[in-house]
Copies of this chain bind each other. A is one copy, B any other.
């Protein structure tokens, strides 16, 4: 392995560990000292990869965004455009709670930073805006295929789908994920039906 390759691998393993810590305690509670200890490095070793705590937090946010897209969006892109793809996205999104044992880093960060202006809040918003527009695009494709009504507002549907994912994840902690996903699926069916030309 080249020196650069080894450096990148070390950086990745620091981010992995930081991501796990952020999942259970939030991004704001990340600090270089305990993290260095957890990965068996000196603080200056960690600082060699991240100039500051904020740089590390940004890297963890980006890693969370990548994992989310890899689990929720990418597999669905192989499914036919329109309702099948939209349903594949929602099924994977409901299932996302299973991938994020301690909690979703992105969602927790949205709550942590929404009232704290700064680069972290900006980055959280970038991820949110991008995801909402990916979702709206998937809705638009179902409009284009004639499976949803032509006057459907894709951003409105994306908003409603987001609400379903939030309540499924919320209820997973209350009733267990399976019961919550079942309710989420029923709500999704009704939502799709009410935007359908055949309703």
Contacts and interface: CB of A to CB of B under 8 A. Distances in A.
Contact of A114 (B125, B129, B173, B199): B173
Interface residues of A, number: 32
Contacts of A163: 163-164, 166-168, 187
A65 interface: no
B160 A170 contact: no
A162 B111 CA distance: 17
B190 A194 contact: yes
Interface string A182-197: 0100110010011000
Interface string A148-164: 00000000100110111
A117 to B, nearest CB: 11
Interface in A102-148: 102-103, 108, 110-111, 114-115, 125, 128-129
27 contacts: A102-B115, A103-B111, A103-B115, A108-B111, A110-B173, A110-B174, A111-B173, A114-B172, A114-B174, A115-B173, A129-B174, A156-B183, A159-B187, A160-B164, A160-B167, A160-B187, A162-B167, A162-B170, A163-B163, A163-B166, A163-B167, A163-B187, A166-B167, A166-B170, A190-B194, A193-B194, A194-B194
